[in-house]
Amino acid sequence: MAMDDRKQRVLEAIVALYTEGGEPVGSGLLCQYLNMSVSSATLRNEMAALTKLGLLEQPHTSAGRVPSAKGYRYYLDHLMRPKGGLSQRQHTEIDRVFAGLDYEPERLAAGAARALAEYTGYTVAATTPRSDDLCIAHFEVVQVGRYSAAVLAVTSAGGVRTRVARLETGLTRADAALLAEVLNRQLTFVAPADLTGSVLAGIAAELGAKGPALYPVVNAAAALLQEAAKARTYLEGQQYLMRWPELGEYLPRVMELFADQERAGRLITPRTGRTTVLLGEDLQRPMPGLCVMSKRYLAGGGLTGAIALLGPARMPFEQLIPILDHFALKLGECMTGQAQEDNV
């Protein structure tokens, strides 16, 4: 059975009506919406044909239909027409949002996710910039107590990460200065894969007799180096997921998934520069009704990150895609300090 123009119009209309009302769409409402010169009976026949094709579902005994996962995929791939762009008012609002964010990369990613969630009313996930070549560009060691030190690492992407190390014998300012000097000489611009036992032994040797006592700080610096190439994933606006009854039973699994930052980052990172829509049925552990719409951003130096909207499959895609695209564009611009074209 072929998808002719009328079937496409019917499917497109049912997606729009279900998005707006969240209720199964009957032939009467469909007839009013389409204003076509065909009867409700003809539309019922088309709805039955689309159901046979697997593009619509009948959730209960009523005559109403809702789009199936296959129907949404057909709509997304063949029928969806995103709005041409944002209004000047929307551009101004989003620019104002980014003007108030902290531009340190990790805080920027978290802040952008929080702002997009508030702006759209949907849950948002965002990753920090990631690259296999990401490394530490500078270390600082700060005495924060007699028996503790904060190790600050600035990544090659400009991010700042911190770990606190506890020492048994105490730490002086001179010790902190020595540690910073040695760490900057031995561990900056070193790939995590090259952090070997011999490198750590070399650091211990440079620290001399104090090496064993100061080694917790070295361990903290090594851990920061290992973490440098791993993107962090921030989830904001979790409360908005509770607005959608169809997602209720999956909320614990969504929270579990995003508790694993590496796994969550892989989930929301598109393979291409295009905006990607992943349906819950496509997941390894399916979550029917869930939708993840994601866009990649460029952070300079070959680094990329991603930002995504989470919600029901009946999200208003045409309205949200231009907003998501512009947030990704602004996020990349703020990461690099340079204007970008929307071709990530």
Q: What is the mean pLDDT of residues 259-286?
A: 90
CB 249 within 8 A of CB 241: no
Measure CA 208 to chain center.
45
Structure tokens at 258: 């995003």
211 sits in which H/E element: helix 211-228
Decide if 249 is inside a domain: yes
pLDDT reported for residue 339: 61
Picking from 228, 260, 288, the residue at the C-terminal end of a domain is 228
Q: Express each pLDDT in 142-196 by its tens digit.
A: 988 888 999 999 988 777 889 999 998 888 888 899 999 999 999 999 888 888 8
- In the structure, what pLDDT confidence band is assigned to residue 134 with cuts at 50, 70 and 90? confident
Pick 38 or 278 by higher pLDDT. Answer: 278
Instruction: Kindly state whether residues 235 and 327 are assigned to the same domain.
Output: yes
pLDDT reported for residue 230: 79
Domain count, the chain: 3
Instruction: Kindly state whether residues 236 and 330 are assigned to the same domain.
Output: yes
Decide if 341 is inside a domain: no
Q: How far apart are CA 281 and CA 283, in angstroms?
A: 6
- Check pLDDT > 90 for residue 277: yes
Q: How far apart are CA 134 and CA 308, in angstroms?
A: 23
pLDDT reported for residue 341: 62
pLDDT reported for residue 21: 87
Instruction: Kindly state whether residues 158 and 285 are assigned to the same domain.
Output: no
Instruction: Kindly state whether residues 190 and 254 are assigned to the same domain.
Output: no
Q: How far apart are CA 173 and CA 143, in angstroms?
A: 7
pLDDT reported for residue 19: 92
Instruction: Kindly state whether residues 163 and 302 are assigned to the same domain.
Output: no
pLDDT reported for residue 62: 67
Decide if 140 is inside a domain: yes
pLDDT reported for residue 11: 95
* Residue 343, amino acid: N
What is the average pLDDT value for the chain, to the nearest integer? 89
CB neighbour list of residue 183: distance below 8 Å, 6 or more residues apart:
139, 141, 151, 203, 218, 221
Q: Express each pLDDT in 66-93 by its tens digit.
A: 999 999 999 999 998 876 678 899 999 9
Decide if 343 is inside a domain: no
Measure CA 138 to chain center.
27
pLDDT reported for residue 182: 94
Q: What is the CATH number of the domain that holds 248?
A: 3.30.450.40
Q: Which domain holds residue 20?
A: 5-79
Structure tokens at 187: 């561990």
Decide if 285 is inside a domain: yes
Instruction: Kindly state whether residues 120 and 152 are assigned to the same domain.
Output: no
pTM of the model: 0.81
CB 235 within 8 A of CB 113: yes
pLDDT reported for residue 48: 92
Instruction: Kindly state whether residues 126 and 235 are assigned to the same domain.
Output: yes
Structure tokens at 54: 């697997």
- In the structure, what pLDDT confidence band is assigned to residue 315 with cuts at 50, 70 and 90? very high
- In percent, the amount of the chain with pLDDT more than 90 equals 58
- Check pLDDT > 90 for residue 233: yes
pLDDT reported for residue 160: 85
Q: How far apart are CA 47 and CA 45, in angstroms?
A: 5
Decide if 342 is inside a domain: no
Q: What is the CATH number of the domain that holds 199?
A: 3.30.390
Instruction: Kindly state whether residues 285 and 262 are assigned to the same domain.
Output: yes
pLDDT reported for residue 302: 74
Q: Express each pLDDT in 185-230 by its tens digit.
A: 999 998 888 888 888 888 988 998 888 889 999 999 999 998 877 7
